[in-house]
Structure 1
Amino acid sequence: MAQLFTYNVAEFVPFYMEEDDALQEAIQRSLQEDDGPDVDILRSSEMLTAEEIQGRLAAHSDRVITPGKRHINISRASVWTTALQAFKRPSFAEGCDMLSVTFASDEHAEDAADLGGPRREFFRLLVKAILQDSGAFEGTPNGCMPRLNILHLQNGVYKIIGRMMSTIIVQGGEPPAFLSPSVVDYIVHGDILQLRVTPDDISDFVIRENLNKVLHATSHDELEEAISSCDWRFQMEGLPAQVTMDNRDAFVRNAVLYHTVLRRQSCIDQLTDGLSHYGVLKLVRENPSMCVLLQKGQENDLTAAAVSGIMKPSYSVPGSNRRRLEELLVVKFREFLNCVENKNLRETFDEGRKITVEEEDFLGALSPGHILAYATGSSRVPAIGFRPSPKLVFVHDGGKNLPVAHTCANELLLFVNTKMIAANDEFNYHFLTALMNGAVFSTI
């Protein structure tokens, strides 16, 4: 007996339409159209630059965040569990006040007021927890897809994650840009039959490879051999029994639609519902350029030059002796960043410097993003930009050496003295020590 949908598959098939009928309709429409509608037509609205996206989002954030604070207690050792407990409470979830984050665990407790730094760190850790600990997503070469989890559906977890993502976007976190293009297309446009899909949207390696072989077959024999490996196709009613070179593209497309969006549509619908919080869904649908806030793009590590550009020095007046010393320290800071990026920081240490095993391990993992996260709580520029702008602050003090981060103010304090500007490894080693002492803050 054909399986029945027990949920409304919006704009695709009527309520309670049988699955094989839905798939058959998709196949017929694919066969009737040469290449389908031009995807660019679906995205013919105004294209925005990164700066324009940031500006519009910042203005939207100012409009929708209400006065007041919503307090949330988070354990760094159990970010997903503690965040879920808070976000699933109706009284908490329905609020639009700014989050005030307090971290607490068996090893470390903080009760300082959250002026921005702890919140940015929480959002960064929350995105990692959603992907690694929630059990709600699975990876594909093109990005993440919701994993079909019946308990999560019953408990509304996908909707909660959508609310989390909306909160991260609006309240100054790094964009949760991890979804595959096909998921984002469905969220924005709502029509399954118009989605961009490829076999690389499928998480199952075997099925993905099967369909890639079908898609790239150059002869009838190759196609027959590729199709023979697709045993799973007999579990999907509505696909053509005989696949030919003429209909193989439609076969692949509709098989991908089934394995990616159709069979987990209820999960995506819940996620979409959650994204309506703070008006994020409406904002993205009105400005499709803002899909970059959700969609996985090309991931590039933050460069030393980028961090240098973000962390603006707050110099003393030009021509003063203090200004001269501060510029020398900025040179050391930027050289430190370059060494971190090039993985040769170890080479800058003096021969007599003793390096522990822990320090060696930390050196191997260190990246420029760690330095930004140490100073601001965020390893990348937040979706709405940094507020306030990050800066280097100079403290002329001969008795202090370790750089200090004020994440709420996005400030990195560098101490100016003869020891820190000397032509040796003192600055680099003290900076490394500071980063290690703050490792719980700078983990990316």
Structure 2
Amino acid sequence: MGHTESKDELAPETKPEVKEEESLNGVLRELRALQTQPTNHLIADRSCVLENAFSYFKSGKSELSPLEVSMVTSGYSEHAKEQGGPMREFFSLFFKEVLRKDIDMFEGQDHGQQLFPVNNARAIENHWFHALGKAIVVSTMSGGPGFPYLAPIVVQYLRGLECEHDLNISMVQNMLLRQLIKRINNAADGDQLQDAVDSDVERYIDNCGWPRPNMITISNRLELTQYLLKWEILSKRFAALEQLKHGLNTLQFLDKTRDLHEVEKILQAENGDHATAEYLKESLTKEIGRLNPRSERETNAKDFTLKCLPANKRHSEAVSLFHFITGMSSLPVNGIPLEVEFNRVDPSSELPQAITCIQRLRIPLGNETAIAFYSSFHKALTHGQYGFGRSERS
């Protein structure tokens, strides 16, 4: 994958200890120093985040300016001071929007994980993949979420690493092609192999680059399989992959991080919901444990909150709570500090509140019973995701 020094290049006793995370942080600091233009203020309407984002990131040199975001809902501006919360939510919403099936930019499996870019003419002609790549870089530079949805083979390609030896049939999204590959490789003799080739009514073999004069035989069918896999997984997506790669190399991000495995966390699908859920539970348990109740009501609220934390297997609830507190749907590459406090400002309030710009959860003190408390959390997570300065968020 990345460059590994041999024993001849560096003796073990002289090999420097370089922490990848520190190296990645160093690159991000270097890139932020390049943002020398005046701050851009983007007004993003929740009903058209996709259009707002594409328009902004398709504009020239937008990456050279720090970005502040104001969110608008149903024509009303959300009154939130920009300290990172609105911007992070803007990127989270945008990244989720590009995964919509009707946008048709990606296909894959596991409910949005292990994705492959689609060779969509509309997206390519409108430079959507390039704009997305640039947005991922700007979000990462700004402490926002990454785009951890791509198949590992795609990330290898984008980073300029050798990947053809890792191609396999499990990556094939087209079920007809997958069946054809299996028939070709399961053929017991030349007649069965010819039947398999003749069944290729979609003409995959003609399109994959296989030299037409070459006879397909038992001895070279594995070579044919490699042609089919490379075409399906990489070659037919070339335009989309290259455009995304160009966008991700904004400010030479890919070039500067080529040998840093930590960058995979930004792009590669590795059960991101699980990682977010584990981080949330660990961080909140620690912060809630530090609270010093001043009354029986606060003691009860502290205990109720600990019992409210989503169970290990309920990742979707944990992601919802993480989004409620931070405005992000996934954990950024370097983590993010979470804070907890009792709502002593408005002790009669029954709903939890979140100050997303500083990632702080306010525990309500207005509930008389455990059931009322649990219901208040459920209500907040269900209805409190619509904006800053609206309902119980700020």
TM-score per shorter chain, which class? 0.7 to 0.9
Identity over aligned pairs, percent: 22
Match of 1:88 in 2: 58
Match of 1:373 in 2: 323
Match of 2:12 in 1: none
Match of 1:234 in 2: 206
| Letter of the structure 1 residue corresponding to residue 107 of structure 2 | E
1:45 aligns with 2:4: yes
Q: Is the 8 A contact 2:325 2:356 kept in 1?
A: yes
Q: Deviation per CA, 1:153-198: give whole Å up to 9, x if none.
A: 3443322221112122222222212222332222222667x45212
Of residues 331, 334, 355, the one that matches 1:406 is: 355
Q: Deviation per CA, 1:359-397: give whole Å up to 9, x if none.
A: xxxxxxx612111110111233212321xx111112335
Do the aligned partners of residues 291 and 399 (structure 1) sit closer, same or farther apart at CA in structure 2, a change above 3 Å counting? closer
Do the aligned partners of residues 180 and 225 (structure 1) sit closer, same or farther apart at CA in structure 2, a change above 3 Å counting? farther
Q: How far 1:83 sits from its partner (Å)?
A: 0.8
Of residues 17, 41, 51, the one that matches 1:71 is: 41
Do the aligned partners of residues 226 and 322 (structure 1) sit closer, same or farther apart at CA in structure 2, a change above 3 Å counting? farther
Q: How far 1:299 sits from its partner (Å)?
A: 5.1
- Cα root mean square deviation, aligned: 3.3
Match of 1:183 in 2: 154
Q: Which moved more, 1:244-253 or 1:290-299?
A: 290-299
Do the aligned partners of residues 104 and 212 (structure 1) sit closer, same or farther apart at CA in structure 2, a change above 3 Å counting? farther
| Letter of the structure 2 residue corresponding to residue 265 of structure 1 | F
Match of 1:103 in 2: 71
Of residues 81, 93, 107, the one that matches 1:138 is: 107
The alignment's TM-score, normalised by the length of structure 1, stands at 0.72
Alpha-carbon distance in 1 for matches of 2:136, 2:260: 17
Of residues 376, 380, 383, the one that matches 1:434 is: 380
Q: Is the 8 A contact 1:140 1:200 kept in 2?
A: no
Match of 2:280 in 1: 307
| Residues paired across the two proteins, number | 364
Gaps of 5+ in 1: 1-41, 344-365
**Structure-to-structure mapping, 1:328-367, within 5 angstroms:** 328-338=300-310, 367=317
Do the aligned partners of residues 385 and 340 (structure 1) sit closer, same or farther apart at CA in structure 2, a change above 3 Å counting? closer
| Letter of the structure 2 residue corresponding to residue 279 of structure 1 | Q
Q: How far 1:292 sits from its partner (Å)?
A: 3.3
| Letter of the structure 2 residue corresponding to residue 247 of structure 1 | N
Do the aligned partners of residues 181 and 308 (structure 1) sit closer, same or farther apart at CA in structure 2, a change above 3 Å counting? closer
Q: Which moved more, 1:389-398 or 1:78-87?
A: 389-398
Q: Is the 8 A contact 2:70 2:80 kept in 1?
A: yes
Q: Is the 8 A contact 1:199 1:256 kept in 2?
A: yes
Alpha-carbon distance in 2 for matches of 1:52, 1:203: 37
3-state SS in 1 of match to 2:177: helix
1:425 aligns with 2:384: no
Q: How far 1:406 sits from its partner (Å)?
A: 0.0
Q: How far 1:407 sits from its partner (Å)?
A: 0.1
3-state SS in 2 of match to 1:408: helix
**Structure-to-structure mapping, 1:105-254, within 5 angstroms:** 105-106=73-74, 108-132=76-100, 134-139=103-108, 143-189=114-160, 194-215=164-185, 217=186, 219-220=188-189, 223-231=193-201, 232=203, 233-239=205-211, 241-254=214-227
Alpha-carbon distance in 1 for matches of 2:170, 2:45: 36
Do the aligned partners of residues 327 and 149 (structure 1) sit closer, same or farther apart at CA in structure 2, a change above 3 Å counting? same
Q: Deviation per CA, 1:193-221: give whole Å up to 9, x if none.
A: x4521233333221123223434x16226
Gaps of 5+ in 2: 6-17, 389-394
Q: How far 1:270 sits from its partner (Å)?
A: 1.8
Of residues 391, 405, 420, the one that matches 2:339 is: 391
The alignment's TM-score, normalised by the length of structure 2, stands at 0.80
3-state SS in 2 of match to 1:131: coil
Q: How far 1:129 sits from its partner (Å)?
A: 1.5
Q: Is the 8 A contact 1:375 1:407 kept in 2?
A: yes
Q: How far 1:135 sits from its partner (Å)?
A: 3.3
Alpha-carbon distance in 2 for matches of 1:211, 1:327: 63
Match of 1:37 in 2: none
| Letter of the structure 1 residue corresponding to residue 348 of structure 2 | G
Alpha-carbon distance in 2 for matches of 1:75, 1:143: 29
Alpha-carbon distance in 2 for matches of 1:303, 1:272: 26
Q: How far 1:275 sits from its partner (Å)?
A: 0.9
Alpha-carbon distance in 2 for matches of 1:393, 1:430: 16
